[in-house]
Amino acid sequence: MNDVTFYFQVHQPFRLRAYRFFDIGHRDDYFDDAENERIARRVASKCYLPMNDLLLRAIEEHGTAFRCSFSISGTALDQFEAWSPETIDSFRALAATGCVEFLAETSQHSLAALFDEEEFSAQIEAQAARIERLFGRRPTTFRNTELVVDNRIARLAEQAGFQGILGEGADHLLGWRSPHAVYRPEGCERIKTLLRSYRLSDDIAFRFSNRAWEHWPLRAETFSAWLQDAIAGLEDQVVGLFMDYETFGEHQWEDTGIFAFMKALPAALLGAGNLRFATPSEVFERHDPIGRIDIPHPVSWADAERDLTAWLGNHMQRSANEALWDIGRDLRGLASRCGDREQTRDAEALLAKWRKLTTSDHLYYMCTKFFSDGDVHKYFSPYATPHDAFIAFMNVVDDLARRVEGLRASLQAPAADTSSAIVELMPRESTRAKSAEVLPCGEGKVEA
C-alpha cells in the first residue's frame, strides 16, 4: 500500500506599518494591526473556516481513512487568538478527530536555524509547547520555515527529539532518486525525512486555476490517476503533497472550483485501491529509510532555484538580515542581565518585537527576482517595490537598536561589553549607509 500525505502550512505575518525616518526614536508601534486584523479575518472567512469544515466533513464521511497534517505558525496563532478565535476552535475540532497531525516549526516563522541556534531552539520549544496546549499532543514531526533544511538543521531537529523532518524533493538534491521514499539525512542517526513531490503539489497550489494550462480544469479523478502513474508498479511509496493552506479560497478562489476538487479528492484517491492517506508521523513509523540523503547546502520549497535566494538573494536582504540577527544576540545577552522587574519587562517587550521581525516574510518582500518568481513575490508583498520594503524594515531596525542601547544604559553596561557591531553602528547614519550600499549613485531605483 502506498501512502499519500497531505501537509498544509498555515501562516500570517505581522506586517509593518509605514514606519518612516521621522518616526525613529519617537514611535515603537511597528506593526499595522488594523491591516493585519483585516487580512486575518478575510483569510479566515475565505479559507480557514470553510476549508476546515470541508476536511471535517471528509473525516466524517470516510472515517479514519482520511488523514492530513498542518503546521500553524505562532504568528498566525497570535492573530487567530486576537481576531478570529473561531478559527482556533475549528482547528481544535479537527484535532479532536484523531485524524489530523499538527507539526512543530519555529514560532515566528523565522530563518533562525541558519543564523542563531540558540534562538532556533527557543522558538521550536515555544511552538511545540503551544501546539501541545492547544491541540492535546506534542509534535513529533518538524517542519522548518519554508521547508529550509540541510544536514545541520536535520541534526538540530534530531537533537530536539523529533522523529522526522519535512523537506523539498528538489531535482538537484535527488538526482536520479525518487521523492516518493523516506530518507535519512547525512550525519543523523534516528531522524527521517519525508520529501515534497513538488510537481504534483504545484498542480494544486499554483496551476489549478490557470486556464492556459493544458490540464485545466483539473478533476479529482485525473489527479488520482497521476498519483498512480507516479508510483506505478511500486509498493510502499510515499507521495508528499505539501502546500500553503491559503491555496484554498485565498490564492485559488472558490469560483475556480478548488473546494469542489478537494471535496471529491478523498473518494477518488481511496477508490484507487492502492492508495491510503497517512500523516507524517504514520509515514515515519511505517517506512524505514531506503538510504541516506546528503543535503550539504540549504534547500527550500521557494522559487525555481529551491534555495535561499528568495530571502537572501540581494544586498538589501543580506544587509537587513545581518542587522536583525546582530541586534537579537545583543538583546538576549542584555535581557539575561536585567536585575529588576521594570528592566525585565522592558527587555521582554523588546524581544517580543524583535522576534516578530525575524519572520521570513519581511526579507521575502525585498526580493528583486524577475519573471514568474518575481510575480509571486509581488503578489504577496504589501509594498510597491522591494526597496520600499527594505526602507520600512531598516527604519524599524534602527529604532529598535536605539531602544536596545537605552536598555544597555539602564543596566549601566560598559560599551566594551557589546559584542554586536550593528548596535554600535545603528544610530541614524548606519541605516542610511546601508541604503546607499544597495542604491549606488546613478541607479535611481531597484528593479522589481
Alpha-carbon distance of 245 to 65, in angstroms, equals 21
Which among 336, 399, 333 is positioned nearest to 28, based on CA atoms?
A: 399
Cα dihedral: 40, 45, 51, 56 (round 10) = 100
Residue 130 has which C-alpha cell? 503551544
Q: Which of 146, 168, 246, 405 is catalytic?
A: 146
Which among 387, 367, 396 is positioned nearest to 23, based on CA atoms?
A: 396
Per DSSP, what are the bridge partners of residue 166? 194
Which among 429, 145, 314 is positioned nearest to 322, based on CA atoms?
A: 314
Do residues 123 and 336 make contact, with C-beta atoms less than 8 angstroms apart? no
Alpha-carbon distance of 249 to 44, in angstroms, equals 10
146 flagged as catalytic: yes
Do residues 274 and 2 make contact, with C-beta atoms less than 8 angstroms apart? yes
Alpha-carbon distance of 312 to 306, in angstroms, equals 12
Alpha-carbon distance of 110 to 175, in angstroms, equals 29
The most distant pair of C-alpha atoms in the chain lies apart, rounded to whole Å, by: 70
Alpha-carbon distance of 186 to 436, in angstroms, equals 42
Residue type, 89: D
**414 CB-contact burial (10 Å; exposed 0-12 / middle 13-18 / buried 19+):** exposed
Alpha-carbon distance of 313 to 310, in angstroms, equals 6
DSSP code, position 48: I
Which among 299, 320, 324, 296 is positioned nearest to 309, based on CA atoms?
A: 299
Active site residues: 146
